[in-house]
Chain A
Amino acid sequence: MITVEHLYHSYGRNDVYAVKDVSFDIPKGEVFGFLGPSGAGKSTTQGILTGLLRLQKGQVTVAGFDVKELKSSMFNRIGMSFEQSNVYSKLTARENLQFFAKLYDVPTRDPDELLKLVGLDGKGQIRAGEFSKGMKHRLTFARSMLNNPELWFLDEPTTGLDPAIAATIKGIIREQNQQGVTVFLTTHNMYIADELCSRVAFIVDGEIKLIDSPKNLKLQHGQSLVTVEYGDDCKLVSETLSTVDAQGRKRLQDLISGQRIRTMHTKEATLEEIFIQVTGRELV
């Protein structure tokens, strides 16, 4: 669905690149996470893929369209939800969706149905300018689904949302993906990436450092550890033990047989820890 080969982009059109030699492929039906700290080149890459930025160097194909020669019909097949909500504040929520629906050449979804889906049921008559930040974000998210996109670009889709609404949004993303929609998810939130993505790419300083599935990354970079809490002379003691080396396994067996264990958790590496381990950078 997306093919990127040796992509470069420089805002100053000089040797200072915001994106350097980036290459990846996203097959149809995948949720691809593009992860990196602020300024890593995530938005630049996404901007080129969506035609917001002009392609300078490299080859990019999106939904079968070469972005070097953008055709308006490409936008009938893609949807884009921006990190910063961008809706007409003087139009109502319904008018916002109705207006954008008229810009597509393909059948579009019912605005009221979309508003209900994102939890804005009954808010269609309210001007977007009177919405809270979270409500505007949901309206922006709903707008990106108007044309039933085959390829869905999501930029920080849960930012600023309360946990319940964020869960709803994640549920919608999963549901759309199950229906065959390919998702390009840009985020610096490793938890949402871990929950939703089939594969993730780590990008730092405009370069992709690694691409793999979260599961493989955890297997490759995580350690087999167990954190055990047990009672010792009326005190609660915590200990982390390896399940691989003999000494750790022996110690764990002793604790189990001693029936002193209160809690026991396997400890696998988080994506954030793996990111720091691989890139040497934090996700700020």
Chain B
Amino acid sequence: MKLWSSFIKELLIASRGFYFYVELIAAFILLFVLLFVVPDNFSSKEEEFLYLAIPDPAIEAAYIETFEDLDGAPESVVLKIGRDEITTQLYESKDAKLHVVATEADMVRLAEDRHLYGATIQLDPVDGQWHYTYYLQGNETSRLKQLLLVLHAQDDAVVFPAAENQPVETLASELVLLSDRENLLPVFLTFNGALMGFFIIAAYIFLDKKEGVIKAYAVSPSPLWHYLLSKVLVLTLTMLVTSLLLVVPLMGLRVHYPLTVLFLVTTGFFASGLGLIVTGYFDDMAQSFAVLFLIMIGLMLPALAYFSPSWNPAWLKILPSYYMIYGFREIFRQADLGFVVRLSAAYLAGGGALFAWAHARFKRTLTV
């Protein structure tokens, strides 16, 4: 009953405060971005510029015929560099967009301006050999550069069949494939939950510290942990509402909602516990700013690995937000739901430990 009263009071205070609406507005902005700014699937077509230095028009025409344009009819496109206009012939296949440019100079200018790859393919009129020159951006990996060298080390008739005959084994064929837009959702939910929950509970507690109401609570018959837990519950509830505000319109009924709610609640509990710890060691937002900032940056790092899977160092896996992101993805892909339950249990246990630590700290640092 006392805990319920504290919870209702905290809810009332939150609804009359600034941060509650910050959370709601942030959720609406994220929803707007996901629905109207982010395409369902990003274009993955590579765009390249090509100059053909082939002296014989007949050979050039034959060479161009090998381009697999989707509709079989190249498009004449005008590209602008500053005030200059360059006309290219655009061949669009299912994997790439290839601009054939009239001069090598224009090809280089376009590659530099658009930060894309350019290439010159030259047929030596003397020895009849093909020569390939690539214009890279300078940030390519050595693996790509070696691949380009290998590509021309053998005859096409050897290289391409060998590439196509590479055995590819699908490890999990029953996975639900997420669209690019849906694939963003785990990161957004993690930030909406972990980061906002962590930051906003700190803001709430610092406000109470400033008003001194914790002391008033401490000389009442209600235990201090009620006070802390009521804050956590309010944060978890608002986080749950704002997160579902994103999940429902985007995923509809294609998601396991009980598991989603379980994971949202346990991760929210964990993040709130982390926020409580910080507030136990500082008196106000200004004092704790550096620590809050560092923790927030730390919690954001796993998103880089999520979007760039090739960068996934082992140390990143000790960050709690790492498993939050992948936990949400597993729920949406309806993959390893047992993994999500185990993760939820871990976040609940971790959150409980952080809560107990924060409670002990608050009891020890209450002062007159």
A: residues with CB less than 8 A from B are 43-44, 46-47, 50-54, 72-76, 78, 80, 82, 84-91, 95, 99-100, 102-105, 127, 140, 143
Q: Is the CB of B219 within 8 A of A99?
A: no
B: residues with CB less than 8 A from A are 1-2, 5-6, 9, 12-13, 16-17, 211-213, 215-223, 364, 366-368
- Contacts known (A43-B368, A87-B211, A99-B9); A105 close to B219, Cβ less than 8 A: no
Contacts of B12 in A (CB 8 A): 90-91, 95
Q: Is the CB of A86 within 8 A of B215?
A: yes
- Contacts known (A87-B211, A88-B13, A90-B17); A100 close to B216, Cβ less than 8 A: yes
Contacts of A89 in B (CB 8 A): 211
**Alpha-carbon separation in the docked complex, A75 to B1 (Å):** 17
B223 closest partner in A (C-beta): A72
Q: Is the CB of A99 within 8 A of B368?
A: no
Q: B221 to chain A: closest CB distance in Å? A: 4
Most chain A Cβ neighbours within 10 Å, of B211, B215, B218: B211
Contacts of A53 in B (CB 8 A): 366-368
Q: Is the CB of A88 within 8 A of B219?
A: no
Q: Is the CB of A87 within 8 A of B368?
A: no
Q: B85 to chain A: closest CB distance in Å? A: 61
- Contacts known (A47-B367, A91-B13); A102 close to B216, Cβ less than 8 A: no
Q: Is the CB of A90 within 8 A of B16?
A: yes
Contacts of A75 in B (CB 8 A): 219-221
- Contacts known (A80-B219, A100-B220, A104-B220); A88 close to B368, Cβ less than 8 A: no
A153 closest partner in B (C-beta): B219
**Alpha-carbon separation in the docked complex, A91 to B8 (Å):** 12
Q: A105 to chain B: closest CB distance in Å? A: 6
B16 closest partner in A (C-beta): A90
**Alpha-carbon separation in the docked complex, A85 to B210 (Å):** 11
Contacts of B216 in A (CB 8 A): 80, 82, 86-87, 100, 140, 143
Q: A150 to chain B: closest CB distance in Å? A: 14
Q: A178 to chain B: closest CB distance in Å? A: 24
Sort A-B residue pairs by CB-CB distance and give the 8 closest, nearest first. A86-B212, A47-B368, A102-B5, A103-B222, A75-B221, A103-B220, A43-B368, A72-B221
